[in-house]
């Protein structure tokens, strides 16, 4: 009887957490279908009007373009660096290995505002004023820890005897790396790339300190728009971002399995 009560209690807590986390997102999506020029819940009349308004807003469109190329560029730069770092940590037997792992994961732990301010100060000290370059550098720091983390998780699942057997059979380090190790960790690398891309695209805290009037990301454009207007077009563009994130995450789960990729190593 006690086990049954505990089981139901656990399910109730889990569902309560799901509702707590998802309710705000559901509200945003519902509000985006409101016909009226003010946000109201529930909508008095339903329409796709504000999706058209959001897609015609040049600030949103330009912001989405900037967010996309910055996230893509940062992912392409951070991935080879992260994979090499993960391979180095995996094969290292140094006593400083735990400290190095913590250092590489630090951008996840350090608040984004702190990272953004630090980058602003550091880049200003070297007179770096080009917003696209500053954004790219900042977003590489966002993507890098996720590539390292997921690659390390995949490497931890490789049987060390595979590497030893390849070396015994005369395979060079390059052959072992490209024909055995990398194919086995490809799911982890792809997972880190996708998660890094999503978080880079949606970032506010770091981007806030690195944009300028001509180069602004989509989340910053939405924040700026909210200072002067509060119509449902904000809910519409937010719903599109939610849908993009959900679809990418669902594809990632179906292809590779998030639980396995983010298992401890």
Question: Does 17 reside within a domain?
Answer: no
Q: What is the pLDDT of residues 220-259, one digit of tens each?
A: 888 888 777 777 888 888 888 888 888 877 777 776 665 5
Question: Does 104 reside within a domain?
Answer: yes
Question: Does 244 reside within a domain?
Answer: yes
- Collapsing DSSP to helix, strand or coil, 211 comes out as coil
Non-local CB neighbours of 209 within 8 Å, separated by 6+ positions:
116, 117, 119, 120
Question: Does 37 reside within a domain?
Answer: no
Question: Does 153 reside within a domain?
Answer: yes
Mean pLDDT value across the chain: 80
Phi and psi for 157 in degrees, rounded to 5?
-90, -5
Question: Does 9 reside within a domain?
Answer: no
Residue 265 binned pLDDT confidence (cut-offs 50, 70, 90): very low
Question: Does 239 reside within a domain?
Answer: yes
Give residue 94's domain range: 58-263
**Six-digit token string for 140:** 């590489």
Torsion of CA 62, 67, 72, 78, to 10 degrees: 150
pLDDT attached to residue 191: 83
Phi and psi for 34 in degrees, rounded to 5?
-75, 135
Cis bond before residue 42 (omega within 30° of 0): yes
Residue 164 binned pLDDT confidence (cut-offs 50, 70, 90): low
Asked if pLDDT for residue 181 goes beyond 90, the answer is no
- For residue 258, the Cα-to-chain-centroid distance in whole angstroms is 13
> What is the CATH classification number for the domain harbouring 74?
1.10.3720.10
Q: How many domains does the chain have?
A: 1
- For residue 188, the Cα-to-chain-centroid distance in whole angstroms is 14
Shortest CA distance to 104 belongs to which of 81, 135, 122, 121?
81
Asked if pLDDT for residue 151 goes beyond 80, the answer is yes
- Sign of the dihedral through C-alpha 66, 230, 240, 52: negative
Asked if pLDDT for residue 264 goes beyond 50, the answer is no
Return the biggest CA–CA distance within the chain.
Answer: 73
Asked if pLDDT for residue 93 goes beyond 80, the answer is no
- Give the DSSP H/E element, type plus range, for residue 232: none
Question: Does 67 reside within a domain?
Answer: yes
């Amino acid at each position: 009887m006690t086990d049954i009560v505990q089981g139901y209690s656990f399910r109730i807590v889990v569902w309560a957490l799901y509702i707590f986390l998802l309710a705000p997102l559901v509200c945003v999506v519902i509000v985006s279908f409101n016909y009226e020029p003010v946000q109201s819940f529930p909508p008095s009349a339903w329409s796709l009007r504000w999706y058209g308004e959001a897609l015609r807003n040049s600030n949103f469109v330009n912001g989405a373009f900037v967010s996309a190329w910055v996230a893509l560029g940062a992912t392409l730069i951070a991935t080879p660096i992260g994979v090499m770092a993960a391979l180095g940590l995996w094969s290292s037997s140094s006593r400083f290995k735990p400290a190095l792992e913590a250092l590489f994961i630090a951008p996840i732990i350090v608040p984004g505002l702190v990272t953004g301010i630090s980058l602003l100060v550091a880049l200003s000290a070297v007179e770096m004023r080009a917003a696209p370059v500053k954004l790219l550098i900042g977003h590489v720091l966002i993507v890098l820890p996720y590539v390292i983390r997921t690659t390390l998780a995949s490497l931890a699942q490789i049987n060390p005897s595979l590497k030893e057997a390849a070396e015994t059979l005369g395979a060079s380090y390059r052959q072992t790396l490209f024909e055995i190790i990398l194919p086995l960790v490809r799911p982890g690398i792809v997972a880190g790339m996708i998660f890094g891309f999503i978080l880079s695209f949606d970032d506010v805290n770091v981007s806030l300190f690195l944009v300028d009037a001509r180069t602004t990301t989509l989340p910053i454009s939405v924040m700026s728009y909210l200072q002067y207007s509060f119509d449902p077009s904000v809910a519409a563009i937010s719903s599109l971002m939610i849908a993009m994130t959900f679809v990418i995450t669902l594809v990632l789960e179906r292809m590779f399995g998030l639980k396995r990729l983010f298992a401890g190593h």
